């Protein structure tokens, strides 16, 4: 999430009760979680396992619970509970806004767009021209929809990320991280019925231009899907994945979090991708492997009884 304008670290330190160390005269341009940080961003870390990763990431400023050595130009905001400080900042700059009407007065809706009765359009949503939003679809706060987009009935764009801060030394193990990111749906996209697309935790979930979704598809937070992709029904994609241009994903596939699928890859039905996959290849199975290899192996497996009988007769 980008701040409306750069915010001084001193103000953030005063607001969160943090001690400043390093480049204390700087200003932050946004707040982000570790998978999506950019220069100028604030990020938080509260576990020694991730100290080095955060300090040496693209983030310029780190909310942390101990003093540490940092690269020149960066700054630490040292506070007992970095997660609570992070949440306080997010809730200040992206507070909850109740909805008073089915279509928010702050929404911007382009010429020629038709919104069916019972659809919901949240606060600060932008919808382009010549879109069709079907009954019972919901586009939640701050989401961006391009031109010529079709969103079928029952689909939810911008539901909260399934993302929790986990600590087993407290009564409530899983504490919800507030989702301040958006969903950005580019031009000429069609999203089928009863799909759910989670907003980014602090960045954007993106559906690229010309991509088409069937029904009952779930896209996790901060995932970026390229242009002209094709997704059949019941596909599930974990958070922070990157699916490049022209990928085809057939029915019932599961794509794990934080991986990359290369351009023009094809995942045949019921494939499960647990790691990065190269582009311009066809995959099948669990775990995903090149379909031709799997098919040849199945042919040989079917021949095992025949080969066994030959061996026994010798």
Name the residues annotated as catalytic. 221
Question: Tokens for 243?
Answer: 């699916």
Q: Do 233 and 152 meet the contact criterion of CB atoms below 8 Å apart? A: no
Output the CA angle 124-184-261, nearest 5 degrees: 160
Q: Cα–Cα distance between 266 and 307 in angstroms, integer?
A: 33
Question: Tokens for 109?
Answer: 């809706």
Residue 171 CB: number of other CB atoms within 10 A? 4
Q: Which residues contact 146 (CB under 8 A, 6 or more apart)?
A: 128, 185, 186, 187, 188, 189, 209
Q: How many CA atoms lie within 13 A of 103 on its CB side?
A: 13
Q: Cα–Cα distance between 9 and 41 in angstroms, integer?
A: 11
Question: Tokens for 89?
Answer: 């900042």
Q: Cα–Cα distance between 54 and 98 in angstroms, integer?
A: 34
Question: Tokens for 161?
Answer: 């990320």
**Closest alpha carbon to 184 in 209, 213, 167, 162:** 209
């Amino acid at each position: 999430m980008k701040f409306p304008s750069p915010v001084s670290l001193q103000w953030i330190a005063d607001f969160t009760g943090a001690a400043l160390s390093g480049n204390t005269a700087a200003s932050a341009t946004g707040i982000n979680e570790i998978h999506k940080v950019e220069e100028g961003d604030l990020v938080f870390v509260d576990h020694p396992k991730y100290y080095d990763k955060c300090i040496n990431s693209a983030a310029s400023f780190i909310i942390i619970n101990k003093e540490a050595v940092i690269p020149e130009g960066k700054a630490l905001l040292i506070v007992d509970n970095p997660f609570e400080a992070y949440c306080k900042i997010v809730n200040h700059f992206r507070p909850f806004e109740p909805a008073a009407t089915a279509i928010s007065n702050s929404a911007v809706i382009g010429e020629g767009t038709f919104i069916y009765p019972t659809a919901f359009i949240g606060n600060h949503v932008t919808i382009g021209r010549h879109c069709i939003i079907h009954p019972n679809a919901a586009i939640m706060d701050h989401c961006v929809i391009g031109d010529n987009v079709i969103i079928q009935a029952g689909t939810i764009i911008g539901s909260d990320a399934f993302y929790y801060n986990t600590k087993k030394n407290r009564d409530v193990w899983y504490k919800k991280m507030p989702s301040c990111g958006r969903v950005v749906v580019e031009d000429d996209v069609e999203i089928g019925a009863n799909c759910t697309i989670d907003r980014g935790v602090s960045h954007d979930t993106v559906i690229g231009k010309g991509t088409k979704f069937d029904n009952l598809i779930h896209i996790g937070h901060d995932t970026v899907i390229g242009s002209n992709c094709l997704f059949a029904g019941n596909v599930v994609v974990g958070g922070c994945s990157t699916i490049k241009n022209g990928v085809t994903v057939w029915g019932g596939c599961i794509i794990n979090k934080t991986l990359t699928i290369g351009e023009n890859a094809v995942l045949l039905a019921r494939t499960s991708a647990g790691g990065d996959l190269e582009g311009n290849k066809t995959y099948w199975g669990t775990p995903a492997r090149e379909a031709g290899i799997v098919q040849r192996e199945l042919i040989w497996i079917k021949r095992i009884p025949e080969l066994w009988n030959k061996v026994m007769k010798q």
